[in-house]
Every structure is written in structure tokens, then in C-alpha cells.
Structure 1
Amino acid sequence: MKLLKPIPLALMFGALFSALAATAQDHPLVSVYPGSKLLDRKAVAFDEYKFPVAKMWANKFTKELALEGKVERLEYSNPEERSSLEMFRNYQASLKQSGYQTLYSCSGEECGSGGGNTQVGQFHPGHDTRFISAKLPRAQGDVYVAVVVSGYYHRTYISVVEVRPMDENMTGLAPAASAPRAQASAPIQAEERQAPVSQRAAESSSRGGAKQVVTGVVKGLNAFGIQAKAGSASAKADIVVEGEVETSPFKGNDARIKWARTTATISLRDGRTSKIFTQFNITDKQGSGDYNEAVRRSQTELGKKVAKQINSEIASYFENQ
């Protein structure tokens, strides 16, 4: 007996080719010292960021700006036979020539005391560390750049924050009413037995939709550096993700725990040819003292799994082109 009608999903991935290529390139708003080797680049479409504009004291920056927007972090190995001083002065000059305004700059012990792995990278005053934070005013949103040149670690860390508002209504669905959270839950192994029909009908009526799945997929793909957007497919979409999501209850060994199982059936289609190049199913099961909370957990975790699988399938697809 099928109680829950599958909910259709559609995610649009704009400019996917350029987004994938960007993961292996320098940031377009910051010039990098020649000979530096990119080791890591991470991007988040929207997040909060505490931007340092003063020295460190007792392992904490004494003044930070509360920013929100697109956040990217890049890590480079420094070229051989180049001092941190030479590299740092070049970064200072380059930022100035590009229109950035210096908010704070320091070298060595001027940077304060303490140290550690911070939001701007490895920051250790007194250990051949040089730092600059700068701002580029723009009509479409200011850009903040922090550069740490570490002679001690032989690394350069660059953080870029593009101030912008958060994309809203990403799922294209009306917001679901928030479900009450369970006060307590225990990690009890589930035994998959179909719940009685009367129980399934009552519990399925409290289901909050697939919003958490879509949101989880979008966030997960953005974390992988893919520009994901929820909505209907368009001519601008390089890859279209289509699928169905269904959540249903099942009964475990402990009557105090309510279990929810969410399954997604996903198809990936090439936006240029409209050809489906892969399909897969993923399931996640979660339990809680409250069924609504079990549904939320199941859909949230499923979104993460789907994003990871989509990222893998897309990478494999382009490798074979």
C-alpha cells in the first residue's frame, strides 16, 4: 500500500563547466605570486565569516568584521628561493593596484601573540608570519581579501569573501511548518518490519515534504565547488538533476523509537543533449522519539548522501568525455 506520493525534484546547475574548472584555478579577484602551487581550494556559496582587521592576542584576533556571503579559501606552497618579505610586498602592491583598500597589515611580532590554525590559515606571530586584510568596494557587493604569507610553513593562505545576500526559496516549495523536536533519542538498531496500516497513515500525515533533501543537496554540491541552484531546468543548465523522494515509516524493536526511511531516485541529464547519463537510488533511515524529527533527520542525511553521489557521477562523466 503506497501512502506517500513521490515528490518531483529539479535542480539546475548553471555554468557547471566553469565551476568545475575553477576548483583547479586561482581566484579571479586575487593575483597570486608567480611560482606558487595551489594545494587546496574550498568554496561555500553562502556563509558567515569573521574577518580579522587587527592583531592577535591570546590566540584570538582583537577585532573582526562580521561578514556574510560567498567564502573561498585557497592554500599555496611558496616558490623556492623567495622570502616571505618579497612575496608579501608583492601581494601588498598587487592588491593596491587592483583597487583594494588596506584595512590592516603586519609582519612578525607586530601581528600580536599566540597563534594557531585560524579562519585565515596558519597564523603564528613571531614565526616569519606576514598578514594583510583588504577591502574592494563594489556596487554589486564588497570583496574582502585576507592574505597570510608564512615563511615558517612555506605556505600562503588566501581568504576571499564576496559580500552578497543568501539565495532564498532554493527548493521552489512553500516552507513547511517546523516539526517539534524529540526531547530524547537513543541510537537503537532498527529492525525493518512494516508498521501497521493505521500507524503508517497517522505518521505519514505529519511528513514535512522533501525540502530538507533539496536543501541538503544544494548545500552539499556548493561545498564541492559546483554552482547548484534549485528550480526548473533551463537552457543555461549544463547538468539537470531530476528525481523523486519518498519517505515512509517502519517499525523497529523499541516502541519508543519512531523510524523514518527516505529514498531518492535520481537521474542526471546532460543539459546540452537532454540525454540521461546515469541513474541511482539512495536510502537513509533515522530514528527518534518523535516521527517528525525522524523524518527531518532522514531527509537531511539523505541530502548529503545524494550530493556526494552526484558530485562523483558528474566528475566521472566529464572524465570520459
Structure 2
Amino acid sequence: MKKRKNSILNFFIVLVLLNFLNEIPVYSQEASDHAEIGRYGSSSVRHQELGNFSEYILALGPVRNDSVSESLKIEGKVMMTLYEGPADASSYEIYHAYRDLLSSKQYDILYSCSGSECGTGFLSPVYQLAPFAYNYGYNNSVPITNGSQDFSYLITARKSIGEKTTYVSLIVSQGWFKFPVYKLDVIEVQKSGGKISSIQVAKEDSPSAELSSDRCFLHLKTVPLFQLKTIPLLCKVNTNFSLFKERCFYFAGKLPG
């Protein structure tokens, strides 16, 4: 009996872990640079978040009284990337390189500052204008917000060609790590395409198999656990528990029997 309970517990632990992995955003192994504004030298991606249509707030002025004095809210396709700079590079070196790159690509520099020019304690207020959605343990914000203000820089730029407008926001910081870090965000202004639709799903009277001719239980909440005997390899399990948010998992092996 004890062995049976442990098997059931292990099965649900597997489902929880699969659900957790499904929630993880785009990270280093899947991340890529923006086609026009890439990374500096041998920099590596620490974290990246993408949005086909999101809000974004740009800093256009220094920080005063713990808030950005002037800002601009825009909407569009957003790519936010946190890079770890080369160990032998300075934060100023990275800032200077991007400023030159933006100018060479016909971007207008809307705002640029360094150190105290950006305002007292400017790193956190500027970061909070457009923070990462995923920031477990503050690992994706602290390298920026807790850097040394004296070795930190900010650039906001814009380029318009025809009906296409692109903004770039760059925060470069150094001090939290031995190497510099920088948050490079590229926003392509656009309107929402409108993707709302209604899908009607027919109710099933009983569990059925999708991927195997053998018996496969798809809706766990409709079948008592003691009735679950076996499940074919790679059988698709559709859990309707609110804990799993109706996500689908692939489970290789057998359920406790």
C-alpha cells in the first residue's frame, strides 16, 4: 500500500515539473539578437523576453525625486535582452560602441546620459519603466539596478522610415559583477492584429485515446485514481485540474496499478 502511494505521488511530481518547465520564457539557449542591433563583441545572453504586442515606456529625461522626469509610452513588438558583456570590456566602451552604431544606422538619439547626469539613483527608476516579466530572485534586475551609478549609462533612440518606426533603449551598468551588463531593448511600433477567437469543444462522455489504439485516459478528473491501471508510452494526458491550467503533457511509462 505504501509503495502504491509513493508511485502516485511520484506521478504527480512529474506532472508538476513538466508544467513548470512549460512556463519558462525564452532564455540563453534559444535567444537570438535583433537583426539590426546585435550584441557587443563576445557578450552572452543572460535573459531574453519577447512580445509580439506589448506596452513599453521609454526614458526621455533624468530621474528626479526617484522617478523619471520625462517618458514616452509606446506599443508594438518588443524584444528585451539582458547581456553579460566581455570580462575585459568597460561599461563606457559598450555604451560608446552602441551610440556610434545607432548614429551610423540613422537613429536619432532622443536622450543620452552618464552617471550623475541621469539623476541620483537613476538605475532602478529607469529599469522599472520596462521591467522583465520573469525575475525570479531578482536575478534579471539586480545586475542592472544594483550596479555602480558612476559606471552606468543610458541611451534612448528612434528611427523612422516610411510607416515603420523603431525605438532602442539601452542601459549599461557595471559593479554588481566583475564584468559589465546591459539591457538592450528594441521596440518596433505597430498596432495589434486582433487575434481573439472562439473555439467550441465538444464534450466527451468518456475518456478516449488520441495517440494509441490502446486504452489511454485523457481526463484525469473523470477517472478515479484506483481505476487507472496502465498508460501507453507517449500517451497524451490532458489534465483538467486548475493546478495544471489544462495543459497537456507526455508521460512515458506506466501509472501505478
Please name the residue that 2:196 is paired with.
170
The superposition leaves residues 281-317 of structure 1 with CA deviations (integer Å, 9 ceiling, x where unpaired) of: 131449xxxxxxxxxxx9xx44xx45xx6xx99xxxx
Following TM superposition, by how much is the alpha carbon of 1:43 offset from its aligned partner in structure 2, in angstroms? 0.4
Q: 2:40 aligns with which of 20, 27, 33?
A: 33
2:166 is the alignment partner of 1:143? yes
- Specify which of 108, 111, 115 is matched with residue 108 of structure 1: 115
Identical pairs, percent: 23
C-alpha distance 170-80 of structure 1, shift in aligned 2 (>3 A): same
Unaligned runs of 5+ in 1: 1-18, 174-208, 211-243, 249-262, 265-276, 287-297, 314-321
Structure 1's 58 and 145: CA in aligned 2 closer, same or farther, altered over 3 A?
A: same
SS at match of 1:166: coil
SS in structure 2 at match of 1:170: coil
Residues 65 and 280 of structure 1: CA distance in aligned 2, closer, same or farther (over 3 Å): same
Question: Structure 1, residues 229-264: CA drift from partner, whole Å, max 9, x if none?
Answer: xxxxxxxxxxxxxxx46599xxxxxxxxxxxxxx79
- For 2:27 and 2:118, how far apart are their aligned partners in 1? 36
| Higher RCO (C-alpha 8 Å, min separation 6) | 1
Residue 283 (structure 1) aligned with residue 240 (structure 2) = yes
Q: 1:37 to 1:247 in 2, by over 3 A?
A: same
Contact 1:113 1:125 in 2 (8 A): no
Shift of the 245–81 alpha-carbon distance from structure 1 to 2, 3 Å rule, reads farther
Does 1:57 pair with 2:64?
yes
**SS of structure 1 residue aligned to 2:102:** helix
Look up the equivalent residue of 1:165 and give its one-letter code. K
Unaligned runs of 5+ in 2: 1-25, 132-140, 206-218, 221-233, 252-257
- Which residue matches 2:3? none
Residues 27 and 47 of structure 2 are in contact (CA less than 8 Å); yes or no, is this contact kept in structure 1? no
Q: Identify the residue that residue 183 of structure 2 maps to in structure 1.
A: 157
CA contact (8 A) 1:39 1:76 kept: yes
Can you list the C-alpha shifts for 1:253-279, whole angstroms capped at 9, x where unaligned? Answer: xxxxxxxxxx79xxxxxxxxxxxx974
Partner of 2:156: 133
User: Residue deviations 1:22-75, cap 9 Å, x none?
Assistant: 942211131321111111111011111111111122332111111111111101
Superposition CA RMSD, Å: 3.4
Instruction: Provide TM-score, normalisation by structure 1.
Output: 0.49
Contact 2:28–2:47, Cα closer than 8 Å, also in 1: no
From the two aligned structures, give the one with the greater strand fraction: 1
Question: 1:89/1:56 Cα in 2 relative to 1: closer, same or farther (>3 Å)?
Answer: same
Aligned length: 181
Give the TM-score normalised by the residue count of structure 2. 0.60
Once the two structures are TM-superposed, the CA of residue 107 in structure 1 deviates from its matched residue by 0.5
Closer, same or farther: CA 134–283 of 1 in aligned 2, 3 Å: same
Equivalence map 1:56-75=2 (5 Å): 56-75=63-82
d(CA) in 2 for partners of 1:93 and 1:24?
Answer: 24
> In the alignment, is the contact (CA less than 8 A) between 2:148 and 2:174 conserved in 1?
no
Q: Give the distance between the partners of 1:245 and 1:45, measured in 2 at CA.
A: 31
Contact map agreement 2:28 2:48 (CA 8 A) in 1: no
